Structure 1
């Protein structure tokens, strides 16, 4: 581009060939840019998600609680008389029957005391016979005024005294017999006996504080669990409201999970619940009785007890994979409304039943809950819900 001044002094702009050569590439670039401009991309289709439609159904409600096993009966064997142990008549760790002899204490001193007491009884009986005969003779003589009334009264008193001596002697015989019987230490109950504390030749002392053996009845066996007072109140409230229905004996049944994770094969029943709440733990002791024919359960074992509370006829179950937690730990789910829009909703759950959560609030029967695809949705988004296939029917 050149500037020229004419004869009149006006400036003229002359476009040279170099000017057109300079702007030509720019023009071509602008034309190409306009040709390559594309239209706005089309809207994305709604995200496909898997949903389950909640349906009210009857569900058996269980409560799982930790507990300890307790012996049904337990007896500590202690000597009732003193003496040296002559024999031990049982095998440690075996079952014994009630009344079965376990130990023999040296019995000679007690046999002698028994024989002496019997002799005293015979002497007392003989003295009573003499006194009775004398009283009979004096009865005839006093009527004939052959003896004084005082002599008769003395004979009557002597006969009564002789009867008292017989009773005293009989008591001594019975006491001696009891002591002689105590030299045979018998099992007070039927059950399994543990180790023997005393051996043959050891001295046993009457009424000693330490036992010589323990007999435990293992079948059946108790299971004591601590039920929180709040759970007891909830259980009774739901029964009163009709939400839970108890059906015969099944409502009081209890099953056990052992400490190694296995399930105990026999079911038991609830025996009773304590009438007072433990102030330190705010729990109520619930005692169950369990059959134990194989003696697998031993006193003091730690177990998990499942108490069958009853049946909820209108229970709602939501799959566990559909439930997430917010920053406060509260459960929440994605719910699809009638317009196929999703919203995040907080719910209330009580316990796990299989692979589901039991819902106690926040959801209604007939609502749809997202189970798969929650990572790609946001509140208010439109989705394409697809009903999830039940387990075992997916092909």
Structure 2
């Protein structure tokens, strides 16, 4: 009887072990947290920071450049000497004008004395009216010549001053077009000055994209070396005609702010985005095809189990897939290994992963 009881217990235990399946193991998975996209990227373009106002400056007289006093990149104040011409010709012209002035000043003294003598003789009744008229006319003519000589001297001094090229305002030297020893004509471009107070972003946009831009489009502008230095910008002007070689049109953007890191010449990356209907972007590996229908696996945040969910696909690439809803912001979706999952299976994942 004791042997029969032990046999019955063994049979009962065997039956129980066959009816209860072992629990599914907890499976480690990769997951991403869903974040709805409300903007669509239309492209990223390279550009740089430039001054809105630049001036090409040159000498007001012709001559040979004697010296260049500042280098490219130098910050200059109003009145700073930038370059000089050989002043020999202008100095000679000034000496000649000063000599003419001295001669006419001497002639004026004689004309004044002669006019006084003729007036005195006429007043005593011994002088002729004709002689007095001639003396007074000579005095007026000499006075006019004196004014002309003084103007010539003043003009010669100005010409001599024009051999010095000075800055009209606070600026940054961005380029030289002539070297010391070079002969330049009056008005020829010699140096380019940029006013550093007002800066803007300059990029080249494809001609086909320009025609599609909305009027209120906003650009994201960031420094290429440090993307943390960034701001937004809007279009100030676009060239009306595309460049024949590249089929691009230069666009100048007004910056909402001007960070300290945005110095003249700073390389920037400009991203163009437009508002779209909220959509979900996931890794392509998160999508599973079942009977021709796309679906994803969503993690229950409470009990860490997974469940399949049918979705609608808007677009896909080799690495990503864009869904038209079907999942909410903040939910977690399995991003790899979806083909071996079972509904209700418990998974383990890193909650800090994105």
TM-score range relative to shorter protein = 0.5 to 0.7
Task: Please state how far the C-alpha of 1:95 moved relative to its aligned partner.
Answer: 3.0
1:316 aligns with 2:279: yes
The alpha-carbon deviation at position 384 of structure 1 amounts to 3.5
Q: CA deviation at 1:71?
A: 4.1
Instruction: Give 2:63's match in structure 1, choosing from 82, 88, 92.
Output: 82
What is the DSSP-based 3-state SS (H/G/I as helix, E as strand, rest coil) of the residue aligned with 1:276?
coil
1:363 equivalent in alignment to 2:330: no
In the TM superposition, what whole-angstrom CA distance separates every residue of 1:107-130 from its partner, at most 9, and x where no partner exists? 455334324324434555676784
**Relative to structure 1, is the Cα distance of residues 113 and 231 closer, same or farther in structure 2, using a 3 angstrom cutoff?**
closer
Root mean square deviation, CA, Å: 5.8
Separation in 1 of the partners of 2:189 and 2:164? 15
Say which one has the larger Rg.
1
Can you list the C-alpha shifts for 1:81-102, whole angstroms capped at 9, x where unaligned?
Answer: 43573x6644676433342124
Question: Which residue is equivalent to 1:67?
Answer: 46
Tell me how far 1:181 sits from its aligned partner: 1.0
Q: Which residues of structure 1 form unaligned runs of 5+?
A: 1-47, 240-250, 327-331
Q: Residues 232-381 of structure 1: matches in 2 within 5 Å?
A: 232=210, 234-236=212-214, 252=218, 254-258=220-224, 262-263=226-227, 265-267=229-231, 269-270=233-234, 272-274=236-238, 276=240, 278=242, 283-288=248-253, 291=258, 293=260, 297-298=264-265, 303-307=268-272, 314-321=277-284, 334-335=294-295, 345-348=312-315, 363-364=324-325, 371-372=334-335, 376=339
Question: Superposition pairs for residues 103-252 of structure 1, below 5 Å?
Answer: 103-107=83-87, 109-121=89-101, 123-124=103-104, 130=111, 147=129, 161-162=141-142, 164-187=144-167, 190-192=171-173, 198=179, 203-207=181-185, 221-228=199-206, 231-232=209-210, 234-236=212-214, 252=218
SS of the equivalent of 2:221 reads strand
Shift of 1:207: 1.5
Contact 1:81–1:182 (8 Å) recurs in 2: no
Counterpart Cα distance in 2 of 1:104 and 1:173 = 21
TM-score (normalised: structure 2): 0.55
C-alpha displacement of 1:178: 2.0
* Number of aligned residues: 300
Rounded to whole Å, the distance in 2 between the matches of 1:375 and 1:183 is 80
2:80 to 100, 103, 124: 100
Please report the TM-score for the alignment, with normalisation by the length of structure 1. Answer: 0.51
Q: Post-superposition shift, 1:272?
A: 0.7
Which sections of structure 2, spanning at least 5 residues, go unmatched?
1-26, 297-306
Q: Deviation at 1:180?
A: 1.2
Q: Can you list the C-alpha shifts for 1:217-268, whole angstroms capped at 9, x where unaligned?
A: 566554322334555555528x6xxxxxxxxxxx75642242xx54262536
